[in-house]
Structure 1
Amino acid sequence: MKKRVLSLMLTAVMAMGLAVGCGPADTGAPADTAADAATETTDEGGSAASTGKKVAVAMPTQSSERWINDGSNMKEKLEALGYEVDLQYAEDDVQAQVSQIENMIAAGADCLVIAAVDSSALVNVEAQAKEAGIPIIAYDRLLMDTDAVSYYATFDNKGVGTAIGKYIEESKDLANATDSYTIEFFMGSPDDNNAVMLYNGLMEVLQPYLDNGTLVCKSGRTSFEDTCILRWSQEGAQKNCEDYLTGFYANDKLDICATAFDGFAYGCKAALEGAGYKVGEDWPLITGQDAELMATKNIIAGSQTMSIYKDTRLLADKCVTMVQAVLEGTEPEINDKEQYDNGKLVVPSYLCTPVAVDKDNYKEIIVDGGYYTEEQLAD
């Protein structure tokens, strides 16, 4: 899709923010022995006296590529500093994650990093961690209704929604449109605060066009409550899209699938193919988030229009510096102390900058940035 000037400016600004605002930390070399690690220092001059300390990392699922990458990046960087790492995945099972964290506490974790399946279910076990003196860092999903969390490492989630909305606005030239476009929404899990923030950012851009009729949602489902999909389920998105196509688009075409996640884009793709839509003919604009390998391949092939690139290597770097700070009694870098109110406190946070990628800029952003190789994308 041919990008307009303002879209190019948006990508450039966000790319600059990523490069400057969330650059990787130099974590130094791994300790060779326990004695070496006790006296080692990082290239930044801070102490890396981490041997004997255990960091427990609770991730939500391995069903999404991004969480696998998050976990492996985190483990690698923490072990390079000499920490022992206990990395576990809950496979989107709430009770399994509760049990995993209970076991991490019992096993003597010195710090917990948690990307929650459902943060509301973790309040009691987080209280146990606080009572045991174990600091908690929330990772890319805010831990709600607890005063046990120390810091939060994430991307600018409202900014993700804004970037998706701006991409739709610019691609369809909504400000100057003389025709209307049909749109349906596929938003994130209702138990994930990030999903709400993304929705808010998206609607700040698109609501005026819904109000004036430039965008038409034939299902009428535009609220977060009506468009959220539990556990970020790809199957849920596919079913919703199938229902919309059958119920509202038998005689009209769907122009835009505004989805909040690459998995949702896959689900919409399957539904559209089943309904007879064809890439290059009547294929809708489909958004996404995470720039997964499959999503990037789909962007190249034309079956997904764009995604939000979130370099998890950079996010892992920021989280690792938070872990190091809480275990060494120093202060990590923070760039937001206002947005992330979890109902008990405003959690000090570091927000990395999201970047919109499509067929026009994926090579510059993703390939040249070393996230994927041309060979991976060609497989």
Structure 2
Amino acid sequence: MNRKLVSTALAAAMVCSMGAASATTVSAEEQKTVGILMPTQSSERWINDGANMKKQLEEKGYKVELQYAEDDTAMQVSQLENYVGKGVDCLVIAAIDSGVLVNAEAQAKEAGIPIIAYDRLLMDTDAVSYYATFDNKGVGTVIGNYIKDTKDLDAAREAGESYTIEFFMGSPDDNNALFLYNGIMEVLQEYLDDGTLVCKSGRTSFEDTCILRWSQETAQANCENILTANYADEDLDIACSAFDGFAYGIKAALLGAGYTEENWPLITGQDAEVMATKNIIDGTQTMSIYKDTRLLAEKAVTMVDAVLKGEEPEINDTEQYDNGKMVVPTYMCTPVAVDQSNYKEILIDGGYYTEDQLK
């Protein structure tokens, strides 16, 4: 698994880097302004995304205004309207709830301001020009296959054995969350159907397992309630979590319920945050999905640069991301699973973290 995961990571880096535009300095007379809207600073990854894009755009000579809305939808609407009023030249938006941005996005289109959707698809609008993201269904597929392979579900099926599993899925107002869920179920549904995986709470649908605003606190409360109601006399074997923040809440709930190293379940996550990686090292989280935000930021930056120069950016998907008004031309980067076997090669040798950060 180690060698395969490392190869996948290297391939992902090559794929995301191919076709990247070389740095082009914009003269002071031609300097244009890019407005970036990020959802929150409560998650490490969004801080990194914003900082990476700002740095790369400024290196190309653009003026950059970066704002975070702290998961306040009204604030993000106001920020977007302010950018339109200022007459920025391009917008990059990672939405909290894209449904509330539709009217402001229409104002941007009317003003001739192109919009790049960043890692969260902007729904129900024809104002979006391009979308830069990771393969969100692929994230779910990687998580599902990790569970399948690590627990060897095919062998368990043959032996008539089973594992208990509970699901903690992403926010219902984030279109990525449903893509991720579908990817997981594409792998795991057959094992739920034949009893190799047993969900004692019965909560397996997206509607029953989604957690609004990706809340760690809600994930912890949900896990505490599930453990109390369903696992008093039997251990939970797998916590299928869509986000590192959920994994932190699940860990707290398990510790509160008396779980130890001897009966600790497999716990998945997404984003490979510093804390998650430390938990992977100490064994309280099993894996996470590594999404190199440096590469995703680079793709968004090349999209902005191309749009503002009247050029066509590189895309690799014109079918998957239908937002209800249009199929949005997209560039997808590849997600990679990290665990104890490969985090050093992927995260440290790859320059994403230093050894000191993970101590």
TM-score range, shorter chain: over 0.9
Output the CA distance in 2 between the equivalents of 1:162 and 1:77.
31
The residue type paired with residue 349 of structure 1 is T
Question: 1:330-349 maps to which residues of 2 (within 5 A)?
Answer: 330-349=311-330
Output the CA distance in 1 between the equivalents of 2:29 and 2:121.
26
Unaligned runs of 5+ in 2: none
Which residue is equivalent to 1:273? 255
Structure 1 residues 356 and 105: CA distance shift in structure 2, 3 A: same
Which residue is equivalent to 1:355? 336
Matched-pair contact (CA < 8 Å) for 2:116–2:132: yes
| 1:140 paired to 2:119 | yes
Which residue is equivalent to 1:15? 9
| 1:306 paired to 2:284 | no
Stretch of structure 1 that moved more, 264-273 or 15-24? 15-24
| 1:316 paired to 2:316 | no
The residue type paired with residue 326 of structure 1 is V
Which residue is equivalent to 1:364? 345
Among 204, 229, 254, the residue aligned to 1:222: 204
Structure 1 residues 90 and 272: CA distance shift in structure 2, 3 A: same
Which residue is equivalent to 1:28? 23
The offset of 1:10, in angstroms, is: 5.1
Secondary structure of 2:262's counterpart equals coil
Output the CA distance in 2 between the equivalents of 1:231 and 1:83.
32
How big is each residue's C-alpha offset from its partner over 1:176-204, in whole Å with a ceiling of 9 and x where there is no partner?
Answer: 11321000000000011100000000001
Which residue is equivalent to 2:357? 376
Matched-pair contact (CA < 8 Å) for 2:267–2:287: yes
Which residue is equivalent to 1:56? 35
Secondary structure of 1:281's counterpart equals helix
The residue type paired with residue 90 of structure 1 is A
The residue type paired with residue 311 of structure 2 is T
Identity %: 72
Secondary structure of 1:345's counterpart equals coil
Output the CA distance in 1 between the equivalents of 2:298 and 2:29.
16
| 1:164 paired to 2:143 | yes
Among 69, 78, 91, the residue aligned to 1:112: 91
Matched-pair contact (CA < 8 Å) for 1:237–1:267: yes
Output the CA distance in 1 between the equivalents of 2:3 and 2:188.
19
Structure 1 residues 192 and 269: CA distance shift in structure 2, 3 A: same
Structure 1 residues 27 and 76: CA distance shift in structure 2, 3 A: farther
Output the CA distance in 2 between the equivalents of 1:171 and 1:321.
38
Matched-pair contact (CA < 8 Å) for 2:6–2:346: no
Which residue is equivalent to 1:252? 234
Which residue is equivalent to 1:91? 70
Among 225, 244, 254, the residue aligned to 1:243: 225
Among 153, 158, 181, the residue aligned to 1:199: 181
Matched-pair contact (CA < 8 Å) for 2:139–2:289: yes
The offset of 1:21, in angstroms, is: 1.1
The residue type paired with residue 304 of structure 2 is V
The offset of 1:52, in angstroms, is: 2.5
Structure 1 residues 348 and 169: CA distance shift in structure 2, 3 A: same
Matched-pair contact (CA < 8 Å) for 2:121–2:131: yes
Output the CA distance in 2 between the equivalents of 1:8 and 1:255.
23
The residue type paired with residue 323 of structure 2 is N
CA RMSD of aligned residues (A): 1.3
The offset of 1:51, in angstroms, is: 3.9
The residue type paired with residue 60 of structure 1 is P
Among 71, 74, 88, the residue aligned to 2:50: 71
The residue type paired with residue 311 of structure 1 is D
Q: Which runs of 4+ in 1 moved over 6 A?
A: none
The offset of 1:80, in angstroms, is: 0.4
Corresponding pairs, count: 355
Matched-pair contact (CA < 8 Å) for 1:111–1:136: yes
The offset of 1:26, in angstroms, is: 5.7
Output the CA distance in 1 between the equivalents of 2:88 and 2:334.
30
Matched-pair contact (CA < 8 Å) for 1:139–1:152: yes
The residue type paired with residue 104 of structure 2 is V
The residue type paired with residue 5 of structure 2 is T
Matched-pair contact (CA < 8 Å) for 2:2–2:342: no
The offset of 1:9, in angstroms, is: 6.5
Unaligned runs of 5+ in 1: 1-6, 32-36, 39-48
The offset of 1:315, in angstroms, is: 0.2
Matched-pair contact (CA < 8 Å) for 1:27–1:77: no
Which residue is equivalent to 2:273? 292
The offset of 1:107, in angstroms, is: 1.1
The offset of 1:14, in angstroms, is: 2.6
Matched-pair contact (CA < 8 Å) for 2:168–2:210: yes
The offset of 1:19, in angstroms, is: 2.3
The residue type paired with residue 120 of structure 1 is G
